[in-house]
Structure 1
């Protein structure tokens, strides 16, 4: 790489000094700042230290600001120009605002009001975004008294022009004995941080994290720095080390993480060309390239490496930030007699402390004993900061589990078997112990997956899965209908926790993470002397952890053959119980929005059907006619109880297809039957009811069968803002289509049932006129591309053609696909719709217009091409929309 050019401060200063008028000065300033930004980008990409880059950025702004001041204000003006805030501490980024204070008495302010106005205008003309104030010392005090952010900005100030003693005089005027005494300042800034963290859901693990304001970001570093300055009168964090408030290792860690975070922020500003603090999808890949990172393989992209570095840095900052806040709080609250809580432990200010924390240097055994003591005191506010510091400084003494003696391994297993096991594992992960004991977990700590489906890093997802498992035991989440009933049946609940711990532990290595994770789990089981049956169960759960989810969401679980195949793979009830609970926790732990009542019902139905099949015996297959007879009997009993005549019910059912009693639940059959009976023989009937959850609806349509019905209904539902989760499309013996839809409103508020009925009835009057609406894709979806793939196969009995579609999600996708099927004169008999972040995996059962499987390969090829074109926006309609 070519050499970096010399620093252009002197040329910029000389050019500004030589400007003969305001226009020439403005052009010189703009050109100089542009050259500086270009030079900074070259230096950044060449890997120059971030400390130097920030300094160069600051110096360029200083040159322009001071030059403008001297051109506008006379040398003898009784005014001082001060840099405050981030600019005051000389930490400036390419697009940062520069905070300025003109300090002077009111008389001087008034006398030079016009000149001060010209000064600020000149800075704006030069392209510097400023945040400015003009105040006297007394006015600064009043402003700071009213607003703690003003005080904080003034605590970091330096002179750009005027009296070098101005900052000292201002500091005296703003001293803690005048306003915002230490305890008050600490409480206010801590509350401010808590509120800021809450805006980001108290986690740094967001897909598009905020480098500056988010938890673990630069603002957290600045907050503890400001507290140290206000409470102890020190100039920065390093000055807290001699006071014993900050360990040398902790200080070095914070300095290291600042460089990582600052480099990310600096590069983000260069890329965005504006003040941008959120590391969004728009810039993640480009920034990773600027940092010199490259894709290792498809499971370890450059962007994933960069984001893992960010999340690890943020976790470290949060951990040390918490310790410092606790130490500050203790210092402010004064001495308090410790409360002994067992040999070697005590509570200090409510925090658990070791009386001899130096024991932690001996390795893992005393650490596990510490976690056991913590487990025994759930009332403790947390780990005392001195003990936490000693633990952090002793992490290097932890050897991986393979190198630990047998008694230490059994200590770990004992912690897994305790009532507080999940809390203990979470603490061990947060404090860095778990990653040392289990190196494979350390490799996925902070690891993100570059998609919209996994909203957490792998380690955070794992801890969330464990938290859901803990919730099953405590029955704290009513969204899981039967999980609390299944959990008590587990022979060894800690095996479920281990399955949760290992199920994604091999992500990012390349290869099938389920298979690789199963190998890890088996090795762990052998090292910890788990019985062979337990080791087999654990490895099977890790390897098959996606089996139940895939079966429920991609196949028709009302089909006895589907249930029989799944039951054959599960083999016994014990495997079923563990797998069901792992599946529920895994889905719910992937994204807060992913779990819903429909998925809860789906998995519960598959669990119940499989349990019945296993109880009956795999050799005694459940046949469809048995299920249909039972559904008929239960539905008839319900309808007779509601006052319908048996003859009327049988008349309606005479036209019902037999498969309807296989695919629908008895209460659905009863609801549909009652609606038909009450319709008075209407040709078209639309029933809508809230279903399963607040934003869920179920729709049933009975109307004379004709081509294009499915496409018209789906397009109408899409216009109403409803997403289809499942569609059942049947035909009655009297020529009616019987279409049923499970729907959800993605925004959380479903339209009124009456509005849905009216819209569908209008569409059904002339289905041929209904066309899908086109809407722009959400911003986030534009950064992800899943190549469209369409595959066909036939059901075993040859009655239907199954079509699978995998592609990028987009608004109106199902409506567009339905329109293509309509154009090819194909009928939809079943649809299962699954969306995983930006990825769609939809499954359809199709026939030709004569209700036969599609045997024409040429037709299938044309259909595949048409659907891919629809997905890619290459239809005539899509082209017109794009041109428009």
Structure 2
């Protein structure tokens, strides 16, 4: 039979490469035109459900056309849409998942036709992912629950009723994955997926689709409903009492909100992208109509909406998953705990069907019972739903009774208080009781420093405080376990932690505004004036210890005296130290390190000493130096150094070091100088903490032009970031430089001996050959550029110039600054290096080539050189 005759009989056109190419080009143009129209409708505010359905319909039309061109009418093949496309949804950059159902003989007979079909689709730019399977192969493949998940959402494109029935039978619960097994597998899959994202949606670049509270969680509920009840939507489950009308409405609302974000993200990214990356956040916020105002950036408003949507999805999803579990296992008889609460299959449940009757004392009683029974798996779904429905009727603390306020304070003073506050926050109760907390719920700051939303950061701070209370030593916080037992009322620290950032986003100083909020809260809760003053002071000053430690010279007696004057007494110091540690460590997992731990501990001990000896009697410098010598001498004696040898080593060290360094540092440096030859460069490196990766680097060398810049460039090339540099001039033209560094790149060695050898070799060679390495700018830093700020001042003694530099952080920044200082023939005496996300805030003490402060002309020349260095970046 001729090809022409076959074509007439089958009703299909014969393979024609030119015709196929023309069709694919036309299909591509058609789809592009349709996408452009849909994008315009999106920008005009059309419902996203309608848009994804229309895009799926447009794809359906093209697929059916291509099928008709390629597949003979009588061929025993059927075409199904599966996966998300099977749901009738097609986002701008989503894959088109297809199943061709045919027995093995038909697959072989139509191999060429199917190849032509898929080739035409790919040429048309349709992102097709396909499988060709027989019914038996479908059953076999569906043994993988991820494959079954895609198949159960099938939708017929070119398939008669017989083919549809065949597919249904092949993947039926009688063949594979009974509903209960499917439920257990999907629940475990969700748990593991959440774990990949740290079990939180509140990441800086969250995944809209797969992250906790994302669209995949909603799909999971739909898949469970489909496998268990045979319904594709949750609404039919309302009549079966598995889903409440309010719950179904909430999930539908958040699905549309998340879907709109995803649709817009696909448009601005122009590629398959599910993460709200910094690359797209601002552009997407603008496209969605979020505008900046005086208090909040538009992008922050958009992200807050996402975080709140994700929180609601997780909250409702937890309840529905529990009801699915009860569907399979049955509802267990209650195990009474008291007259008001019982356990149902390990879940805490209110015994009164009318609970909580808008009585927040009953709600507080629920959380008290939960805290008293750590074996509880969670809230029973009916109780959780009753709580959710009553939230808006519960009073805030401003209008609550004295008894209700007392009930809240009882929770705060009880064991596991932080766990209780975390539960209250997740379930919306804390925001209802303290409306200011609700306002910062899901609030993010568009920077790289604050990696959590304000409410999540607050809970992290409270968690750190709870860790201090364990009484056990924690390698991260070297003295916190010693300070904690001194607290008169630990709940005061919890309240300070709860309120320290609660006023963010209102404009003005959030510390001052938060202190006002804290006073109002304390007054309502009948907290004494003395305790109220302490809480308000901690909120108002919660940044002061961190700023003092990281940006000022805490070896300077005047700095310590000023800070001690601010603190005023030992109690405030204890509370402020613990709050500062908890705050820094709760800002970012990467922010707390051994260097900051030691820095804050040093400031704590120095301040405690001043408070003990009296603010009116600051210790004279000579007395402090002699005390440091005595302590260092004692430490060296343990190492086998006699007093005469120690004193001889002290004599070749700079006198200022006995003011600037701790005795153990002085002893370490002195021991490193044993048998040092004139003109020799000696490098020593050690870990700041035994279990940490922060290193202390000591360099003793004859002074040479460009030495400081060469040290920084070498450490930069070795993959280290410098956090502090102290540069002292020693006797006979020598330098005593100390650096505290942390690995900034994966290739940085953790072996002090290796770092010691590498730095020593570099400094033994020609310094002019040591150059900063050029590395690519990290992707995230590119989106947080701002104009550098360069300011000059003078040290209190008038002997040196202070150079303050605030600039966008980048690899090699400090090394490049050092090269500029070198080119300007300036001397560096001290450097305080602080990085806050994308911001580098560095402070240098410098003099000119003659050891004098910089005059106006030299300052301007340095300013111009620094700006030129920043502008000439590759």
Which TM-score band applies after superposition, normalised by the shorter structure? over 0.9
- Please list every run of 5 or more consecutive structure 2 residues that lacks an aligned counterpart in the other structure: 1-16
Aligned to 1:84: 82
Q: Once superposed, what is the RMSD of the aligned Cα atoms?
A: 1.6
> Displacement of 1:751 after TM fit?
4.4
Matched, 1:671 2:668: yes
CA distance in structure 2 between the aligned counterparts of 1:680 and 1:21, rounded to whole angstroms: 86
Q: Helix, strand or coil for the counterpart of 2:749?
A: coil
> How far 1:502 sits from its partner (Å)?
0.7
Deviations 1:634-669 (A, max 9, x none): 111222332223333222222322110111111111
Shift of 1:678: 3.9
**2:693 equivalent in structure 1:** 695
CA–CA distance in structure 1, aligned partners of residues 402 and 424 of structure 2: 20
Q: What is the rounded CA distance, in whole Å, between the counterparts of 1:325 and 1:343 in structure 2? A: 27
Distance 2:132 2:738 in 1: 68
Q: Indicate the residue corresponding to 2:859 in structure 1.
A: 860
Query: Given the alignment, which residue of 682, 703, 706 partners 2:704?
Result: 706
Please give the residue correspondences for 1:128-143 in structure 2 after superposition, counting only pairs within 5 Å. 128-143=126-141
Q: Is the 8 A contact 1:694 1:750 kept in 2?
A: no
Q: SS of the counterpart of 2:445? A: coil
**Which residue in 1 is equivalent to 2:281?**
284
- 1:12 is matched with none
CA distance in structure 2 between the aligned counterparts of 1:206 and 1:628, rounded to whole angstroms? 48
Counterpart for residue 849 of structure 1: 849
Give the one of 66, 75, 92 matched to 1:94. 92
Give the Cα separation in 1 of the matches to 2:156 and 2:680: 84
- C-alpha deviation, 1:797, in angstroms: 1.1
Distance 1:670 1:483 in 2: 26
- Is the Cα contact below 8 Å between 2:720 and 2:745 reproduced in 1? no
How far is 1:72 from its partner? 0.6
* Equivalent position of 1:8 in the other structure: none
Aligned-partner Cα distance in 1 for 2:791–2:245: 60
1: CA distance, partners of 2:314 / 2:742: 37
> Does residue 793 of structure 1 match 2:793?
yes
Q: Please name the residue that 1:150 is paired with.
A: 147
Matching residue of 2:348:
352
The partner residue of 1:109 within 107, 118, 127 is 107
Instruction: Give CA deviations for 1:680-728 in whole Å, capped at 9, x if unaligned.
Output: 5562111122222432221111111122110010000000001111111
The one of 308, 316, 326 equivalent to 1:330 is 326
Asked if 1:492 corresponds to 2:482, the answer is: no
- For residues 406-451 of structure 1, give each alpha carbon's deviation from its aligned partner in whole angstroms, at most 9, with x where no partner exists: 2111111111111121111111100011111111111110111000
1: distance between equivalents of 2:162 and 2:580? 66
Structure 1 unaligned blocks of 5 or more: 1-18
Q: Which residue of 1 aligns with 2:384?
A: 388
Tell me by how many angstroms 1:358 deviates. 2.0
The answer to whether the aligner puts 1:441 opposite 2:437 as a matched pair is yes
Hey, what does 2:761 align to over in structure 1? 762
Query: How do 1:544-559 and structure 2 match up within 5 A?
Result: 544-559=541-556
Q: Deviations over 1:779-806 (max 9, x none)?
A: 0000001321111111111122111111
Matched, 1:536 2:526: no
SS of 1:316's partner is: helix
> Corresponding residue for 2:268?
271
Conserved? CA contact 2:296–2:505, under 8 Å: yes
Structure-2 separation of matches of 1:335 and 1:538: 46
Query: 1:559–1:624: 8 Å Cα contact kept in structure 2?
Result: no
TM-score, scaled relative to structure 1: 0.95
Pick which of 235-244 and 537-546 moved more. 235-244
CA–CA separation in structure 2 for the residues paired with 1:613 and 1:269: 59
Q: Which residue of 2 aligns with 1:55?
A: 53
Counterpart pick for 1:417 among 395, 413, 417: 413
Displacement after TM superposition at 1:747 (Å): 4.4
> Secondary structure in 1 aligned to 2:29?
helix
Q: CA–CA distance in 2 between the matches of 1:849 and 1:316?
A: 63
Say whether the 8 Å CA contact 1:304–1:449 is kept in structure 2.
Answer: yes
Matches within 5 A, 1:548-697: 548-679=545-676, 683-692=680-689, 693-697=691-695
1:251 equivalent in structure 2: 248
User: What corresponds to 2:8 in structure 1?
Assistant: none
- Following superposition of structure 1 onto structure 2, how do residues 709-728 of structure 1 map, counting pairs within 5 Å? 709-728=707-726
CA deviation vs aligned residue, 1:46-92 (integer Å, no higher than 9, x gap):
11111111111111111111110011112222211110110111011
Deviates more, 1:512-521 or 1:547-556: 512-521
1:752 aligns to what?
751
In 2: Cα distance, 1:648 partner to 1:250 partner: 78
Match of 2:508 in 1: 511
Following the alignment from structure 1 to structure 2, what is the Cα–Cα distance between the partners of residues 213 and 515? 39
Distance 1:232 1:177 in 2: 14
Please report how far the alpha carbon of residue 171 of structure 1 lies from its aligned counterpart in structure 2 after TM superposition: 1.9
Distance in 2 separating the partners of 1:670 and 1:20: 85
The superposition leaves residues 454-507 of structure 1 with CA deviations (integer Å, 9 ceiling, x where unpaired) of 000000000000000000001464311111221221121111111111111111
Aligned counterpart in structure 2 of residue 176 of structure 1, from 173, 178, 181: 173
**Partner in structure 2 of residue 16 of structure 1:** none
2:186 aligns to what? 189
Residue 233 of structure 2 corresponds to residue 236 of structure 1: yes
Structure 1: distance between partners of 2:331 and 2:269: 50
The corresponding residue for 1:9 is none
Q: State the shift of 1:251 in Å.
A: 0.8
* CA apart distance, 1:306: 0.4
Q: CA deviation at 1:239?
A: 1.8
Q: Do the aligned partners of 2:21 and 2:120 also contact (CA within 8 Å) in 1?
A: no
Return the offset for 1:235.
Answer: 2.5
Q: Is residue 804–residue 844 contact of structure 2 (8 Å, CA) maintained in 1?
A: yes
CA deviation profile, 1:134-175 (whole Å, cap 9, x unmatched): 112121111112x11111111111111130453343223322
- Could you tell me which residue of structure 1 aligns to residue 814 of structure 2? 814
The 1-side partners of 2:363 and 2:744 are apart by 46
Contact 2:679 2:702 in 1 (8 A): no
Quick one: distance in 1 between partners of 2:680 and 2:140?
A: 77
Which residue in the other structure is 2:69 paired with?
71
CA distance in 1, matches of 2:68, 2:638: 93
Distance of aligned partners of 1:365 and 1:752 in 2 relative to their CA distance in 1, 3 Å threshold:
closer
Give the match's secondary structure for 1:579.
Answer: helix
Taking the aligned partners of 1:622 and 1:357, their CA distance within structure 2 comes to 69
- Secondary structure at the residue paired with 1:790? strand
Q: How many Å separate the matches in 2 of 1:469 and 1:167? A: 59
